[in-house]
A and B are shown apart, each in its own frame.
Chain A
Amino acid sequence: MNAAQDWEDVSLFTPYLNDQALMYDFAECLAVQTFLRMTSLPFNVRQRPNVDFISPDGVIPLLKINKTLITGFNAIVDFVHKKGVTLTSHLSETQVADMRANISMIEHLLTTVEMYVLWKHDETYEKVTKPRFGSVFHWPLSSVLPFLKRRKILEELADKDWDSKTMDEVGEQADKVFRALSAQLGTQKYLTGELPTEADALLFGHLYTLITVRLPLTNITNILKKYTNLIEFTKRVEQQYFKQ
């Protein structure tokens, strides 16, 4: 299948990135954009207040190609791969497996850390999460919906046994992820060497978000700033794919 022929009228639906998107959603949307830019596939970004409802399974972001809808970073990467476009053709099977492990670590651990900070930490919830999440609704929904969402996310955190963690323990989890990724990156340009892969796109999405986000609590960002090669990596990717 020739990807270029079928790749027409492609839109990436995201929340309002500046005012609405929460940290982890922003990171995923940025990761997908980075990935698509790495593959040089053309697309339009359409910002909508109700992407979580436009998306058939509630997962953000949503990629629409004609009438096909694909949601979430992993599914979009898989779809592009099926179209014959891949960033991993130069890798050995072991390297691909390592890359997948990195993606999984970012998706699970880093996203959960971000969720914890946004929804569990009271001050962050009141000052950042609630206003952003409620920004697209009128009163009283602007208060009711963040409240309901918070209850749901806290249940999810409880299912993962994260609800009893302290902020320091959560910081340790983040540190663990950053340390592993920093070691993997070393002095290379990208995680697997000279060429970018989808893991780099996802890592960039989350790191850029963590560096630029303004939160009442700066502990996670401070932990990240200890790993200078990760900061350099983020600047490099931003320079290459977003500042040309």
Chain B
Amino acid sequence: MPEKTFHKAQTIREKAPGVPSIVEAVQFHGVRITKNDALVKEVSELYRSKNLDELVHNSHLAARHLQEMGLLENAVALIDTSPDSKQGYVVNFLVREPKSFTAGVKAGVSTNGDADVSLNAGKQSVGGRGEAINTQYTYTVKGDHCFNISAIKPFLGWQKYSNVSATLYRSLAHMPWNQSDVDENAAIFTYNGQQWNQKLLHQMKLNAIWRTLRASRDAAFSVREQAGHTLKFSVENSVAVDTRDRPILASRGILARWATEYAGVFGDASFLKNTLDLQAAAPLPLGFILAASVQAKHLRGLGEREVHILDRCYLGGQQDVRGFGLNTIGVKADNSCLGGGASLAGVVHLYRPLIPPNMLFAHAFLASGSFASVHARNPIQQLQDSQRVSAGLGLAFVFKSIFRLELNYTFPLKYVIGDCLLPGFHIGAGVNFL
């Protein structure tokens, strides 16, 4: 490329809308392994830009999309005038392709909120069309292990956010709420896509999981009776509308998600599980944010056998009904929690940003959760009777969109004797919070 001075897009923004444009060429600089057809799919829309403003905007979108699809590690769009015609433009993408191989170590937080360390290795854009292979080995401070290998293939195209992936994993985890351990060997196929002009997020999953439940010496007999090998084949379908500005701690917007899991064609498990998530957040005066979340789950056994303890609904913990032990709200037998057949949990939050903004928040909440047993004749009545309530004050720390850390002083307000209460200061960390 000849020596030239480039300016940021803002400099021409005000003048651009009226300027007609014809894209004469789109050039990539730095491409070695990325396939030509993949790039064509990604940028062909640029040729339809009618004016300079649209071209600037679309070039930026294209550059970002190329990176988000894992096709390129870095892409910057530079728009140049064509030497041949007055209205002609040439779009140059200066790109860096993904490294041939990546490996790393990181400390993080598991979905259950335990600190964990993971070793990962992967290869991005394996075939030059954004396909990626990743492997990960994770162990948590509590001694859980997980080995995971996944392959993902994006569907390329203008502003298309859909992909298919296949994951194999093997995990060993301890479940303190019912005094047992579970080994899982699983194969999962996932489709992620968007419908209706990208407003509706759609996910479909096929799960095949071989689970081995091992009861510890202290486990209740009701847990022990379900120990052993079970095979679960299930199909999960979930649709969601998400207008939140940030996924982990939103200041405005709503999330509505409905997920259905059906198991029963093959394997031991046969049930239908519906989960409805609703979240809403709105800014208040003085920088306050009011947010509310509701999660309702319903489980129906379809076979003769009762729904396995591993498939039931659980509540309690720092991520939903704070102030109660993790997954301890449910039908109890001795010191074990056997879960339920339906659950309803809701949390109302009030946040006030502190310094640094968008990272640290003062946080007050009121949480409620209730459950119905798997055999419940009248689940609505049981949901009313089994309500637990807690409230608390504390700090919430959000690290980008990666995880959230809460330090709360909790007061369990409504509980029954035998509940596993955790009053006082507690730390909760994770990704999925109600």
Interface, chain A (partner B; CB < 8 A) = 48-50, 52-54, 56, 64, 67, 69, 137-138, 141, 145
Contact = CB atoms under 8 A, between A and B. Distances in A.
7 contacts: A53-B214, A53-B228, A54-B215, A54-B225, A54-B228, A137-B229, A137-B231
Contacts of A56: 215, 217, 224
Interface residues of B, number: 16
B172 to A, nearest CB: 16
Nearest to A56: B217
Contacts of B225: 48, 50, 54
Interface string B220-232: 0100111111010
Interface of B: 210, 213-215, 217, 221, 224-229, 231, 266-268
Nearest to B210: A141
Nearest to A137: B229
Nearest to B225: A54
Contacts of B224: 53-54, 56
A201 B306 CA distance: 36
B210 A52 contact: no
Nearest to A138: B231
A137 B232 CA distance: 12
Contacts of B231: 137-138, 141
Tell me if B's interface is mostly helix, strand, loop or mixed.
strand
A146 to B, nearest CB: 12
Nearest to A67: B221
Contacts of A137: 229, 231
Contacts of A49: 228
Contacts of B217: 56
Contacts of B228: 49-50, 52-54
Interface centre among B224, B226, B268, by most chain A C-beta atoms within 10 angstroms, is B224
A56 B218 CA distance: 10
Given A50-B227, A53-B229, A54-B228, 19 more contacts: A50-B225, A50-B228, A50-B229, A52-B228, A53-B213, A53-B214, A53-B227, A54-B215, A54-B224, A54-B225, A54-B227, A56-B215, A69-B221, A137-B229, A138-B231, A138-B267, A138-B268, A141-B229, A145-B229
B214 to A, nearest CB: 7
A138 B226 CA distance: 16
A52 B266 CA distance: 24
A80 to B, nearest CB: 21
A231 B289 CA distance: 84
